[in-house]
Amino acid sequence: MATQSKAQFLNDVYTHLKKRYKPKPERGGGRLTVLEAVIYGVCHENTTREQANQALSRFKDGFFDWNEVRVSSLREIQGALAGLSETEGRAHRIRRFLRQLFDRTYAFTLEALTKKPLKDALKALEEYEVLASDYVAATVIQQSLGGHAIPVDDDTRRVLVRLGITAPDTDIPTLRAMLERAVSKNRGVEFLDLIEDLAHDTCVAGEPDCPRCELGKICPTARLQQDDESATETHREEAQARKPHAPKGPKEAKVASAKPAKEAPPPSFRSPKGKHGDAKEGSPAPGLAPPMRAGLDRRAAPAGPAGPGSRPPAPSSDTALDLAAVAAAC
């Protein structure tokens, strides 16, 4: 990404973030002294502006002067740093700076540096160990010496890396120099505040909350996360489509395994019974075809007229065979 394109992109970032985060009120008292800027820089690194302001106020209100801080124990100094991370390390750096300052000047002021050219002032500050931190040095330049500087800590670098502004292995002085070329001086403080708000709101350490981020449409990390989520959803749908159908539920299985209903028995061909249980005289057997009944009647009829007192003839053998066949069919 060229310098001009980085400047345009950072301008878009600035515009988007201003829609979400309100401008911070100016710090009471205006410009910080050089000594206060050093303490503020130590407190502000990898924390929020509000936390750093509260810590600086506790030093100024809770101690008689800076000399009292110099002779205090680390535990007492840590009390003023409550709520910050790495309070022991910060307390040690603050007390070490105050002791070095007193040993060199027998006082607790560095305001003479504000009248020197910026380059000379920075050279004089190199004598103090605490100014080895690029973040603290940039804070002093921005808050006290009137120069253009954008302090970069780990939180700020994390945001800029995710935005694609710089590579993860870029050192902080190089990254700071690039920002100072791309962001104008009159926007430097506000731009840093907006990036800080983003770093502690959605672009947090670990897994960023890209769906809530104001830069979701222009941030490459957010777009990559959206693509990953879409691919995961597509893969899930394909896997669901390839998955075999689930087995039948208990009710469905019970219905499927139920025995079919028994068929109704065929109609009976037994002749209706009379009063005494015998077949009614002259009633044809139900269910027989009319021709068969006619045939049976012809075979059963007597050959000639019967005389008085004669007995009816016995059924022929053919008639008996036909009746047996009908019974077998039933």
Tell me which fold the domain 32-145 belongs to: Endonuclease III; domain 1 (1.10.340)
Give the span between the Cα atoms of 178 and 157, in whole angstroms.
12
Residue 90 contacts by C-beta under 8 Å, 6 or more apart in sequence? 42, 43, 81, 84
Give the span between the Cα atoms of 136 and 128, in whole angstroms.
11
Give the span between the Cα atoms of 207 and 224, in whole angstroms.
13
Please report the pLDDT score of residue 292 as a whole number.
Answer: 46
Give the span between the Cα atoms of 270 and 280, in whole angstroms.
12
Give the span between the Cα atoms of 91 and 76, in whole angstroms.
9
Give the span between the Cα atoms of 305 and 161, in whole angstroms.
129
Please report the pLDDT score of residue 242 as a whole number.
Answer: 73
- 90 closest CA partner among 40, 138, 144, 50: 40
Give the span between the Cα atoms of 197 and 192, in whole angstroms.
9
C-beta separation of 89 from 63 below 8 A: no
For the chain, 330 residues long, give each residue's pLDDT as a single digit of tens. 655 589 999 999 999 999 999 877 665 557 999 999 999 999 999 999 999 999 999 999 999 999 999 999 999 999 999 999 999 999 999 999 999 999 999 999 999 999 999 999 999 999 999 999 999 999 999 999 999 999 999 999 999 999 999 999 999 999 999 999 999 999 999 999 999 999 999 999 999 999 999 999 999 999 998 766 566 666 666 667 677 655 555 555 554 555 555 555 555 545 444 444 444 444 444 444 444 444 444 444 444 444 455 555 555 555 555 555 555 555
C-beta separation of 34 from 236 below 8 A: no
Q: From the CA atom positions of the chain, what is the Rg in Å? A: 52
Give the span between the Cα atoms of 231 and 290, in whole angstroms.
80
Domain boundaries, given as residue ranges, for the chain: 1-27+148-227, 32-145
Give the span between the Cα atoms of 270 and 291, in whole angstroms.
18
Place of tokens 């489509």: 241
Please report the pLDDT score of residue 4 as a whole number.
Answer: 53
Q: Where are the alpha helices (DSSP H) in 154-302?
A: 154-162, 172-182, 185-201, 220-242, 250-257, 290-300
**Range 1-27+148-227: architecture per CATH:** Orthogonal Bundle (1.10)
Residue 113 contacts by C-beta under 8 Å, 6 or more apart in sequence? 34, 121, 124, 125, 145
